[in-house]
Structure 1
Amino acid sequence: MKHLQQILSQACDSVRKEIAIGKTANYIPALARINPNKFGAAIVTVEGEIFRYGDATEPFSIQSISKVFALTLALNKLGDQLWLRVGREPSGSAFNSIVQLEKELGIPRNPLINAGALAVTDVLLEKSSSDNCVSEILSFIQTLANDDTVKIDAEVAQSELNTAHRNISLAEFMKSFNNIRCDVSEVVKAYCHHCAISMNCEQLARSFLFLANEGKDPVTGKQVVSPQRARRINSIMMLCGHYDASGDFAFRVGLPGKSGVGGGIVAVVPNVAAITVWSPCLNSNGNSHAGTAALEAITQATRWNIL
């Protein structure tokens, strides 16, 4: 196989015409202002090798990718009891839909849609404060990335809070079924802040390496989660990581992954590497248009595919 740097560069070069197709997340004002021509990618292998392309070292808002870190912490806290609060099935609906939540009596379909992530945040918030909850998530990510410069973008967090009407509605609705137990304003505040964590492609790929290595950080040797739990988190990403386009992503890319409306996508290649791509313009499902195309090109060139 060609050297990974060459593969990464050729794959990303091949999709440059896809950059700036779509729209930035204009319902969050701070994200609407991002340069639509930004495009970066990074591969970090379980051996610790790093390969970069384009804007790979420029920080961006990870948005819903933070849901994977929150899920990992909640599973470490509650274990399988978490599944009494949130399901494990693909939603087939928009990531902020309330219709399905009403039909299913306040139990979100999975932890990677907004309602599910709010329920997971509520679990982490119990007997704590929103500030402490966010600090716990941020510290966890800094440890995984091996980089304490990872931080929260205060402007993005405030922008999200100012436009959090739908998330407040979802949380209030779940509270009516006793599936949100903390104060709704605290839950939404914590949720908006952990979605506003800012990272670059290299940091993000590094922080997902434990999921490519049976739950163990291959660089430090620390067991973050059990092998079984790592497989389960990967399974949920495969089924639910890209909103109602998760099936299409599995068809095109064939790897577990998670997207965010900041334009980032992370994909996990079990026993091999983690890949991050970033391009801010989104398709109609809220996933990076050029990022998805780049991941498809990378997996075709490397033949990395778990299916």
Structure 2
Amino acid sequence: MSGIENLDLQSIVADIHRDLTPRLGEGKVADYIPQLARVDPQSFGIAIVGVDGQVYKAGDAEVPFSIQSISKVFTLTLALGKHGENIWKRVGREPSGSAFNSIVQLEHEHGVPRNPFINAGAIAITDLVLAGHTPREAIGEIVRFIRYLADDEDIVIDHEVAKSEAATGYRNFALANFMRSFGKLDHPVELVLGTYFHQCALSMTCVQLAKAGLFLAASGTNPLSHHSVVTSQRARRINALMLTCGHYDGSGDFAYRVGLPGKSGVGGGILCVAPGKASVAVWSPGLNHNGNSLLGSRALEMLASRTGWSVFGA
């Protein structure tokens, strides 16, 4: 993987933004969540935060957006901190090969979700984070953790998005009730999903998101504060799950084209990690058929090509 010191990263992000500007608006906004349907489909931002703390950005990198499933990286980190390797009794570590909200797969596997990044798996993880807490306390813990990671007290939950998700989240209610029927959730479905919808409604900018993910690029330690977030082994394992499972049934294609751990969200954001180099966040609301940001994926493919960053070698 090429180094960071000899790259003009500001020129690279500016060039990527310029090259993709003619394609703004491509893809389909996640209109099944009414509040997300209102987002400007022409939005596009990209931010890189190096392990040295330098920030490189272009476009709408300072515009907040709903991070949605990217939040699953942070709740997984919290759950691992609370319960350690015991969480793998509740959720698997394999790519799904199915849609992120598949019920068929969950039934076939007796209520054990395939991985922590599909919806059912993330709901199971939220159930673990909820242990010993009320939903309000758990939501507060999640927000405080992400503010701590990003060193930014301005990160908030968009309550209108949370309300919109709760009003239309029938499939998530079905998944949660299904797991509860198999004894795979400890808490009442309404409490788990109330917490889950709020974590998905976190509103962040590309710069804030890239800063929050920086510990995964630096062996589990925030290189700016020098605080240890997780062990280097745990950071490596979270990155491995992001690489293999972070883009639902498009994870293999993302690994093929980009070659870096990443986690997408239906708000159009993607958090990507170049281990030892940088954390990257992109945002473009139009999604491809897998539910991943169409231009965001393309931007990261261009970035990997122009920097030589890939876990598989330059």
TM over 0.5: yes
- The residue that corresponds to 2:157 in the other structure is 152
- Residue in structure 2 matching 1:267, options 268, 272, 276: 272
In structure 2, give the amino acid aligned to 1:165: Y
Deviations 1:167-199 (Å, cap 9, x if unpaired)? Answer: 011000001111111010000000000000000
**Is the contact between residue 111 and residue 120 of structure 1 (CA under 8 Å) also seen in structure 2?**
yes
**Cα RMSD (Å) of the superposition?**
0.7
Aligned partners of 2:84, 2:269: CA distance in 1, in Å? 28
Alpha-carbon distance in structure 2 between the residues aligned to 1:231 and 1:99? 31
Displaced runs of 4 or more, over 3 A: none
Once the two structures are superposed, residues 195-242 of structure 1 have per-residue CA deviations (whole angstroms, 9 ceiling, x without a partner) of 000000000000000000000000000010000000000000000000
The aligned residue for residue 19 of structure 1 is 24
Q: What residue identity is the alignment partner of 2:73?
A: V
Distance between the aligned counterparts of 1:36 and 1:256, measured in 2? Answer: 25
What is the number of equivalent residue pairs in this alignment? Answer: 307
Task: Assess if the C-alpha contact under 8 Å between 1:18 and 1:289 holds in 2.
Answer: no
CA distance in 2, matches of 1:18, 1:177: 46
* Between 14-23 and 75-84, the greater mean CA deviation after superposition: 14-23
What CA deviation, in whole Å up to 9, does each residue of 1:40-71 have, x standing for no partner? 00000000000110100000000000000000
Cα deviations across residues 48-96 of structure 1 (Å, max 9, x unaligned)? 0001101000000000000000000000111110000000000000000
Residue deviations 1:105-142, cap 9 Å, x none?
A: 00000000000000000001122111111110110000
Q: Give the letter for the 1:5 counterpart.
A: Q
For residue 94 of structure 2, what is the aligned residue in structure 1? 89
Amino acid at match of 1:194: Q
Q: Which residue of 1 aligns with 2:212?
A: 207
Render the CA deviation track for 1:144-181: whole Å, top value 9, x for unaligned: 00001000001100000001111011000001111111
Identity within the alignment, %:
55
Which of 95, 115, 120 aligns to 2:120? It is 115
Give TM-score scaled by structure 1 length.
Answer: 0.99
In the alignment, what sits opposite 2:60? 55
* TM-score for both structures, normalised by structure 2: 0.97
Map residues 270-289 of structure 1 onto 2, 5 A cutoff. 270-289=275-294
SS of aligned partner of 1:41? strand
Hey, what does 2:33 align to over in structure 1?
28
Instruction: Please list every run of 5 or more consecutive structure 2 residues that lacks an aligned counterpart in the other structure.
Output: 1-5
Q: Does residue 1:67 correspond to 2:72, yes or no? A: yes
How is 1:112-261 mapped onto 2 (pairs within 5 angstroms)?
Answer: 112-261=117-266
Aligned: 1:7 with 2:8? no
Pairwise CA distance, 1:18: 2.8
Secondary structure, aligned partner of 1:290: helix
Which amino acid in 1 is paired with 2:272?
A
Amino acid at match of 1:78: H
For structure 1, list consecutive stretches of 5 or more residues without a partner in the other structure. none
